[in-house]
Amino acid sequence: MTDTLSLLKLRRSVPPQFLTAPGPDGAQLDELLAIAARVPDHGKLAPWRFIVFKGEAREEAAGTVARIFREKNPQASEDQVEFERKRLLHAPVIVAVVSRAREHAKIPLWEQELSAGAVCMNMLVAAYAMGYAGSWLTNWFSFDRQVLSAFGLADDERMAGFVHLGTPTAPITDRDRPVMADIVSYYGT
Give the model's confidence band at 174: pLDDT under 50 very low, under 70 low, under 90 confident, else very high. Answer: confident
CB 16 within 8 A of CB 93: no
What Cα–Cα distance (Å) separates residue 52 from each residue in 55, 74, 162?
A: 10, 30, 9
pTM: 0.94
Q: Which pLDDT value is given to residue 21?
A: 97
Q: Which pLDDT value is given to residue 175?
A: 87
* Distance between first and last Cα of the chain: 30
Give the model's confidence band at 171: pLDDT under 50 very low, under 70 low, under 90 confident, else very high. Answer: confident
Q: Which pLDDT value is given to residue 85?
A: 97
Which parts of the chain are beta strand (E)?
A: 19-20, 48-54, 93-99, 133-137, 158-168
DSSP string, 54-101: ETHHHHHHHHHHHHHHHHH-TT--HHHHHHHHHTTTSSSEEEEEEE--
Average pLDDT over residues 76-103: 97
Give the model's confidence band at 58: pLDDT under 50 very low, under 70 low, under 90 confident, else very high. Answer: very high
